[in-house]
Structure 1
Amino acid sequence: MKEITIDYALRATWQAVARMYNEEAKHFGTTMAVGFTLLSIDPKTGTPSTALGPKMGMEATSLSRILKSMEEKGLIERRPNPEDGRGVLIHLTPFGLEKRGDSKDVVIRFNDVVRENVSKEKLDHFFEVIEIINQLITDKKIYSKNSATN
């Protein structure tokens, strides 16, 4: 291939970001997946366990493993959902709130450094392109019977 493909650039960049986050998470005795989960749980009201997977774009089995590990480490606790007797809310423990703060600091640092090194105009274009790609996928305009060019 003469040119780098869009999907390759996205995938390679995300893998580099994920490696970076995992390296940083090691300093806190955790992983990027745990940090992402901590940031996805509402720190005040908790989050229904059934809402976490879709919110994070994660399969239920992978999320179950992460939640079990987080519960064993004392980061979260499961409580009955008062609005749905069958449901469970995931709440952060005081330790989980502390680790959530660490995760938030790491994400903010990444964003700050990128913003210091990339102009607002370029970031605006980046987000515009990402939004278009997501919309094309959502609208099934890439792989549908009507989009085939061959």
Structure 2
Amino acid sequence: MTTLPVSDAELLRLDHQVCFSLHAASRAFGNVYRDALKELGLTYPQYLVMLVLWEHGPEPVKSIGERLRLDSGTLSPLLKRLETAGLVHRERSPEDERSVIIRLTGAGEELRERALPVPRRMMAATGLTVDELRTLRSLLGRVTGALDEA
């Protein structure tokens, strides 16, 4: 295992930037997800919304945004495209007219079955074991929490 250099000048090297490693990994994930999701007709951000709805059922837009760390300016057009595709339905909350609830349609629920192989395909593409992936997720969760606090 290599250690990080201690000099400030060395720390400025691109290959010492954790943020760049995360960025490069994210782009690589995006490329593999693009292929995996093509047959489902979903983009990666749309897939994330569907994951939330498959797991939690109907959700307010605000809650989906919080779970996915997306602002409403990004989330609203994405939800409109999912609605146009017939996968979700948007409706005003009867308790609070300002709140919009997102529900899966029958087609959205049926798409879940076709999406079942995607996580295993992605796990295989990483070349990591299940335990390594768990460790990576844990470390990334710690980093995210620390950065949120900073």
* TM tier relative to shorter chain: 0.7 to 0.9
In the alignment, is residue 32 of structure 1 matched against residue 44 of structure 2? yes
Contact 2:54 2:112 in 1 (8 A): no
Question: What is the one-letter code of the residue matched to 1:118?
Answer: T
1:16-31 to 2 correspondences below 5 Å: 16-31=28-43
- The CA distance in 2 between the partners of 1:81 and 1:90, in whole Å, is 10
Quote the residue 2:4 is aligned against: none
Which stretch of structure 1 is more off in the superposition, 51-60 or 80-89?
80-89
After the TM superposition, which residues 56-95 of structure 1 pair with which residues of structure 2 at under 5 Å, given as runs?
Answer: 56-95=68-107
Q: Of Structure 1 and Structure 2, which has the larger fraction of its residues in helix?
A: 2
8 Å CA contact 2:91, 2:102 repeated in 1: yes
CA contact (8 A) 2:88 2:103 kept: yes
Change beyond 3 A, Cα 1:27–1:128: closer
| 1:12 paired residue number | 24
> How many residues of Structure 1 are paired with residues of Structure 2 in the alignment?
138
CA distance in 1, matches of 2:116, 2:48: 9
Q: Does residue 51 in structure 1 map to residue 68 in structure 2? A: no
**TM-score, normalised via structure 1 length:** 0.76
RMSD, aligned CA: 2.5
Q: Secondary structure at the match of 2:101?
A: strand
Q: 1:30 and 1:125 mapped to 2: Cα distance? A: 28
C-alpha spacing 1:115/1:66, structure 2 compared with 1 (3 Å): closer
Query: Which runs of 5 or more structure 1 residues have no equivalent in the other structure?
Result: 141-150
Asked if 1:133 is matched to 2:143, the reply is: yes
